[in-house]
Amino acid sequence: MRPATAISTFLSERPLLTTFVAMHDPTVVGLIAAAGFDGVVIDQEHGAMPISVARTLILAAHAAGMYAFVRPPDIRRGSIQDALEAGADGLLAPMVETFEQARALVGWSHYPPEGSRGFHPLTGASSYSALPGGPAARNASLFVAAQIETARGLANLEAIAAVPGLDALFLGPGDLSLSLGVAPDAPELAAALASLANAARSRNIHAGTWVAGAPQAAQARALGVRWLVAGGDAGMLLQAARGLAGDVRNVLA
Helix (H, G, I), strand (E, B) or coil at 133: coil
| The pLDDT value given to residue 120 | 78
Task: Judge contact between 21 and 32, C-beta under 8 A.
Answer: yes
| The pLDDT value given to residue 119 | 81
| The pLDDT value given to residue 131 | 65
Alpha-carbon gap, residue 169 to 96, rounded angstroms: 10
Alpha-carbon gap, residue 154 to 180, rounded angstroms: 10
Task: Judge contact between 181 and 150, C-beta under 8 A.
Answer: no
What amino acid positions are annotated as catalytic residues? 46
Largest Cα span, the chain: 67
CATH top class, domain 7-252: alpha beta
This prediction's pTM: 0.94
User: DSSP H helical segments within 14-112, as ranges?
Assistant: 26-35, 51-63, 77-85, 99-109
Task: Judge contact between 58 and 21, C-beta under 8 A.
Answer: no
> Can you give the residue ranges of every domain in the chain?
7-252
| The pLDDT value given to residue 132 | 64
Task: Judge contact between 68 and 124, C-beta under 8 A.
Answer: no
- Rounded (to 5) percent helix, strand, coil in the chain: 50, 15, 35
The distance in angstroms from the start CA to the end CA of the chain is 50
Per DSSP, 3 falls in state -
Q: Amino acid identity, residue 223? A: L
Low-confidence ranges of the chain (pLDDT < 50): none
Per DSSP, 146 falls in state E
Q: Give the angle 187-191-197 at the CA atoms, nearest 5°.
A: 145
